[in-house]
Structure 1
Amino acid sequence: MADLTLADLGRLFQALRYCVLVHDAVTKEIIWANPAACDVLGFTLDELKPLKAPDMSSNARQYAREIGVAWLQRAADHGTATIEWSYRSKASEDILTEAVAIRVDLASGPVVMVQFRDIAEEKATRMDLSRTEGRLQTFLRNLDEGIVVLDDDARVLFASESAGSLLRVDAGRLAGDDFTRFCDRESATRLREVLDTTPRGGAPRDGRYRLRATNGEERWLSVRCQYIDIEGDLRGCLLLFHDITDQVRAEEEHRRDAQHLNHLARFNAMGDMAMAIAHEVSQPIAAAHNFVAGVRGRLAGNGVDAASLDWGLDNATAQIDRAAQIMASLRRYVVGLEQSEQLADLNEIVADCAHLIDVRAQQNAVALEWESAVEPLVVRCEKVLIGQVVMNLTFNAIDEMARWPAERRVVTIATRRDDAFGEIEVRDRGQGLAAFPHGRIFDGAFTSKRNGNGIGLALSRRIVTRHGGTVHAAENTPQGAVFALRLPLLDEVPPLRR
């Protein structure tokens, strides 16, 4: 193809979509404008030539004539000058532009060629982006959650300011750092495994990691890990994490509290058992002592009857065997205190407690009524702890009834199904709940017993709550109180161990 002619260059120049104005380098008057400039400003070339800066610029102070002239003069003196200028169209619309003035030496003399483009939308977009970025930065700075992006080697590609705050380091210095160095050895190993196995495009993975504190303080982070790829610009594992140290400590304290609760409940159970056993054992031991004393008396007299001696010794032996059986029962019960959670039938738990309850009732001349559910009520629980709750509720009812006339001394123990729950209910005919001010029954602060400390009901409630159940109290009809514990029944029940 032949070289471009002057006419060709003229056509190309006319076809420019970039706006061009040509000013005289000395007078600053407009001597030419391309069609694009005429279209944008709404003037013809002939209309543009006589115009001065005030005629075609915004009235704002930063676009005053002297400022525009000084800008063109800088281009004339130094070859080029750039400015943000607001032109005003023939329709009196302000047009914000980025304008570049360039000195061009023509054969007829120097001129200043101004090239400009409308940047109003672009500037508005930039301002919107700037505001959005500012808001995001503010949000990120004030987030309780830290944000980092890690590469395949667990090195930080991006870190928010909140991440730096949580890690106790300057966020700007995290780039390129090995994130796992902030974790203890076990947590670092688990985190690397998660990073290596987190699928691209898969669901996020959650975990807990312990921080390796330089000052000896132990801290914990809850971390959500997900692989991201933002237009190929930021690719890696996104970690969102927040400090859960207080939560972990609370959980540990709860575990210690639960252990203490179990310990206390077991000691209470052993105490109740010991009191009952002491009463039970005293009777056969006293009877055996009497039989032995009778045998000794016969030996000291005349005309010893061997048959009567054998009878006395046999009965003494029987009473001693009965005491041994009672002690063996106590041993089995104490061993049972160490059993962990298992499947149990609430009917059987009540049956296991029946002997001790009966002893307490006989001591106080209280009659017992038993109402058992026909079907098994299978729950998952620590049998001895729930048994302790049953005895606590029942002993309270018996002690309450001991204060009333003999004809009212009745306590009812019932088991039943209530929808998805198994329920054990203890009913008495005493004064009801009037002894508990403002309904504060289970808080451990009040008791109707002279020598009581109120811890029984509070402890019982905590035991049942830990098993996912509830304990509640209500007035009995026509008089007295009803205490009931409810535990969730199992939907599918495997065979119980006997």
Structure 2
Amino acid sequence: LGVYSLKGLLKHQVPWWFAEKYQVRVVDGNGSLLASKSKIDASATTLSYPVSFDPPGYGMVLQVTAYRGADNLAQTLIATLIIILAAAVFWSLWAVRGLIQRRLSAEQALRSEYAFRKAMEDSLMVGMRARDLEGRVTYVNPAFLQMVGFSAEELIGREPPMPYWAPEEMERTLLLHNKVLEGKAPHEGFEIRLMRKDGSRFDALIYEAPLIDADGRQTGWMGSIIDVTARKHAEEVARQQQEKLQVTARLVTMGEMASTLAHELNQPLAAITSYNAGCLNKLDSGNFNALQIREALGKLAVQAQRAGQIIRRVHDFVRKSEPKLAPCDLAEVIDDSVGFIEAAARNRGVRIVREIQGMRPELMADPVMLEQVLLNLMRNGIEAMNGLPPERRRLTIKLGQVEAQMEIRVIDRGPGIPPEVLEKLFTPLFSTKADGMGMGLNICRSIIEFHHGRLWVENNPEGGSIFVITLPIDRQ
């Protein structure tokens, strides 16, 4: 029979490292402490594991209890930090994934936008050319390259003078170039003649606008270039056709007035013949007075001058010539026009009244072209009054100044113009006459618009029509 010390047994049989982590003690059946490996009490909430000594321990129990010490707390903190860091890494990866997706979407949108813009620029028929603030070319689109015949490498980075500037336009082109860089380019654009690489010329209409970056700063100028060579050629052909049509209209007018002009010309010729015969008779009789002969010859010269004036007016009116703008007195134009048609008006019983009001400033115009307009309007007015009582057959020509314009009104007392006809009166090939070509009034409006004026018609409250012409006074 041996006796063992429980304290000694625990001291020698329980390893130290085990005692560092666990409290080892022996208790009796009532829970009273008999022996313990550690003097530090473990928490009641920690894990505990009992081992019974029965038999033959008489109710003694070996109780092992784990410490909840600093090591466990550190491990818990480390585990918690690891979990937090893992969550942060996962969140970062998720955020990076979203950022990458957005970046890829933005890059795809940028590529699509670039492709769309490039396709749009490549399909433009308008030439685009960008220059920096010093005038160097920084960008050209395919349409501009096709216009001038140069490659992009030959133009980008070039400074004035540019290889597509025409030598004969060099001075004017350089002046316009400097105006653009100074911000003084005309907003309505400007036309200039440019040169292709092969030396051929073409007319271009250029619009310049500031080139602004994303920060709102101007970095240069963007020019839009339109080749207007075909348009100008078409305008020139149309102008030539219009001139031919105007000459034809003047010839038609003279043809319609031929009998009247022949009658008007016959009067001075008959007077010349009469004065000449009288002089010859006096000379043959030998009974003459030199003063009488001189007086007769003077009257003969007056009639010859009158006939010459009639022929000169007809010649000036029908001859083909380019429009010649010169300082012009509209009152004189009206007098010459009335002189043409006055005889025809008398034959129809129409009285022509001229009303010249206020000042008579001169304006730049072609008097022959204006005479053509007035003759056409007066002839229409005279014809419109056929069938009226003689006392109502009056054609009034009014001339006056309205602000910065001269205004001519041709007023007749005819039946007027129905509203449905009024809208189409100036339309080409539309005529109210059975044998009319429908070009007279259209040509008249074209002539007035050539002079930067306006021509329209309105009904006369007293009966008849009023054709109104306005022409600017200060046009250069």
Give the TM-score band, short-chain normalised. 0.5 to 0.7
- Cα pair 1:421 1:487 within 8 Å, conserved: yes
Letter in 1 for 2:232: V
- Supply the AA of the counterpart residue of 2:367: K
User: Is the partner of 1:241 in helix, strand or coil?
Assistant: strand
CA distance in 2, matches of 1:146, 1:170: 13
Call closer, same or farther: CA 1:121–1:488 in 2, change over 3 Å: same
Cα shift at 1:463: 1.0
Looking at structure 2, the residues matched to 280 and 274 of structure 1 have their Cα atoms a distance apart, in angstroms, of 10
Residues 1:452 and 1:322: Cα distance change in structure 2 (over 3 Å): farther
CA contact (8 A) 1:265 1:385 kept: no
**Corresponding residue for 2:40?**
none
Secondary structure at the aligned position of 1:442 is classed as coil
What pairs up with 1:247-396 in 2 under 5 angstroms? 247-257=231-241, 259-260=243-244, 263-264=247-248, 277-290=261-274, 306-307=287-288, 317=297, 320-330=300-310, 333=313, 334=315, 340-376=324-360, 378-396=362-380
Aligned partner letter, 1:425: R
Quote the offset at 1:133 in angstroms.
2.6
Whether the 8 Å contact between 1:378 and 1:490 is mirrored in structure 2 is: no
Compute the displacement of 1:459 (Å): 1.9
Cα distance, 1:264 vs structure 2: 4.8
TM-score relative to the length of structure 2: 0.62
Listed one character per residue, the Cα deviations across residues 419-461 of structure 1 (whole Å, up to 9, x for unaligned) are: 4432222222223225984643223534455654443322222
Q: Aligned equivalents of 2:127 and 2:110: distance in 1?
A: 23
Deviation string 1:35-63 (CA, Å, 9 cap, x unpaired) is xxxxxxxx9663389x8xxx99xxxxxxx
- Residue 125 (structure 2) aligns with: 144
The one-letter amino acid paired with 2:301 is D
Determine the C-alpha separation between the residues in 2 that align with 1:299 and 1:245: 72
- 1:475 aligns to what? 459
Task: Map residues 217-256 of structure 1 onto 2, 5 A cutoff.
Answer: 219-224=202-207, 239-256=223-240
Mark the CA change 1:453 to 1:403 in structure 2 (over 3 Å): closer, same or farther. Answer: farther
Deviations 1:155-201 (A, max 9, x none): 96543344445557886897689995566554678657766x47767
Give SS of 1:486's match.
Answer: strand
3-state secondary structure, aligned to 1:306: coil
Which residue in the other structure is 2:427 paired with? 443
> Which of 315-324 and 264-273 deviates more?
264-273
SS at match of 2:343: helix
CA deviation map 1:377-418 (0-9, x unaligned): 543322222122222211222233344443332222222334
Residue 451 to residue 163, structure 1, CA distance change in 2 (3 Å):
closer
Gaps of 5+ in 2: 1-78
AA aligned to 1:481 is S
Q: Sequence identity, in percent?
A: 24
The residue type paired with residue 393 of structure 1 is L
Q: Is the 8 A contact 2:279 2:296 kept in 1?
A: no
What does residue 446 of structure 2 align with? 462
Deviation at 1:353, TM superposition (A): 2.9
Give the 5 Å matches for 1:26-45. Answer: none
Q: Name the CA distance, whole Å, in 1 between partners of 2:423 and 2:132.
A: 59
What is the distance in 1 between the residues matched to 2:170 and 2:81? 73
Q: How big is each residue's C-alpha offset from its partner over 1:265-298, in whole Å with a ceiling of 9 and x where there is no partner?
A: 6656776887655322212322444566678889
**1:356 CA drift (Å):** 2.7
Find the structure with the greater CA-based Rg: 2
* In structure 1, distance between residues paired with 2:347 and 2:263: 9
For 1:245, the aligned partner's letter is: T
- Give the AA of the match of 1:462: S
Cα 1:226–1:88 change in 2 (3 A) is: same
Letter of the aligned partner of 2:266 in structure 1?
S
Task: Summarize the Cα distance change of 1:203–1:485 in structure 2 as closer, same or farther, 3 Å threshold.
Answer: closer
* More displaced stretch, 282-291 vs 120-129: 120-129
Structure 1: runs of 5+ lacking an equivalent: 1-42, 57-86, 99-117, 494-498
| Superimposed CA distance per residue, residues 237-260 of structure 1 (whole angstroms, 9 cap, x where no aligned partner) | 755423333433343334434544
How many aligned positions are there? 387
Greater CA drift, 180-189 or 374-383? 180-189
Indicate if the aligned counterparts of 1:345 and 1:378 stay in contact, CA closer than 8 A: yes
* 1:436–1:448 Cα contact (<8 Å) kept: no
TM-score of the pair, normalised by structure 1: 0.59
Report the RMSD for the aligned CA atoms in angstroms.
5.0
2-structure distance, mates of 1:121, 1:188: 52
1:201–1:228 Cα contact (<8 Å) kept: no
Are 2:91 and 1:89 equivalent residues in the alignment? yes
- AA of the residue aligned to 2:94: D
**Alignment partner, residue 114 of structure 2:** 133
Matched residue of 1:249: which SS?
A: helix
Greater Cα shift, 334-343 or 439-448:
334-343
CA distance in 1, matches of 2:467, 2:459: 9
Check if 1:407 corresponds to 2:388.
no
The 2-side partners of 1:370 and 1:316 are apart by 33
Q: Given residue 424 of structure 1, which amino acid in structure 2 is its aligned partner?
A: I
In 1, the alpha carbon distance for the partners of 2:101 and 2:297 equals 111
